[in-house]
A and B are shown apart, each in its own frame.
Chain A
Amino acid sequence: MSKLLSIVLVCGSMWITTLHAFEERTFNNPQDEATFYALVNELRCLVCQNQNIADSDADLAVDLRREIYAMINDGQSRSDILDFMVQRYGEFVLYKPRFSSKTLLLWLGPAFLLLLGGFILYRTTVNSRKPVEIPLDDAALSRARRLLDED
């Protein structure tokens, strides 16, 4: 009985999730479909900022999915749609920001830090590889000999 109940519960919840995520779309060709899914996955939903438009259930995200879908079936290109979004919501909607003077530090910063780190690492290892000179006098040598002989 409990088995039956769990099956019903599991199937029921699956049914609810599919209903939830269901928005019927037909595309002119598979390429358009790929463009659509790529776009909604790389555009940020401004209402819930850490979700993309594909994941978000916010009202605005639903509207934007519909808008992007309409634009794609209207024959607009990927860059047209990105421009449309950036004009309205700013660069912040792009999870992958464009390369411009404003985002220079963002794009090149990590590479710069990596180079800097490599340089520092190089300098410290070169320094530590230099043979250490230990001043040796006769007393130290004879003490060392004595220690070796003990075995």
Chain B
Amino acid sequence: MKYVIPLLVFAAISAFLFVGLDKDPTIVPSPLIDKPAPEFSLPVLGSEGGSFSTADMKGKVWLLNIWATWCVGCRVEHPVLVDLARRNLVEIVGLNYKDQDQLAIQWLTELGDPYIATAVDHEGRTGIDWGFYGAPETFVIDKSGIVRYKHIGPVAPADLQNTILPLVAELQGSSS
């Protein structure tokens, strides 16, 4: 009995620490999940006077991908998005965050453009509304404009296959 209690305490601490080993402290759960997507209306990259508004996406399941040319992870992720766009499974909207238009246009010309539209957030004000902090970030928004999922960091093909695409399919199947 004398040794049982310390042993139990030790086992409990070890269990917590062991679970903690696998967790990435830089990934902070978003408070936006299951809340209405923050609305914005911004100019579209490379178009004179064109604008994109979140209201345009009502009734569709869509992805919002926040990216910038200065972001290394975005370069890693980009081919995955281009491939996804080619499969026509879901519409991807880009949000070009605190970037230079010229560089962003060049990037999309060289590497391919997976976005139905790229909204331009020069000031980073929209990024703040979306709680953006670790480029790149990708959100899944459902037909009624509710944020359902947030992926922080580059999306890998496995993330698409295991998490994002099944969720998109499920949301596209539901009526609201």
* Partner-B contacts on A (CB < 8 A): 46-47, 49, 59-60, 63-64, 67, 86-92
Contacts and interface: CB of A to CB of B under 8 A. Distances in A.
Closest 7 CB pairs of A and B: A46-B133, A88-B131, A90-B31, A92-B28, A89-B131, A63-B124, A47-B133
Contact of B28 (A63, A67, A90): A90
Contacts of A60: 124, 133
Interface string B1-37: 0000000000000000000000001101111100000
B131 A67 contact: no
A128 to B, nearest CB: 15
A34 B130 CA distance: 28
A92 B25 CA distance: 11
Interface of B: 25-26, 28-32, 98, 123-125, 128-131, 133-134
A46 B28 contact: yes
A63 B128 contact: yes
17 contacts: A46-B28, A46-B133, A49-B25, A49-B26, A59-B98, A59-B124, A88-B31, A88-B32, A88-B128, A88-B129, A88-B130, A89-B28, A89-B133, A90-B29, A90-B131, A92-B28, A92-B29
B15 to A, nearest CB: 16
Contacts of B31: 86-91
Nearest to B31: A90
Contacts of B133: 46-47, 60, 89
Contacts of A92: 28-29
Contacts of B129: 88
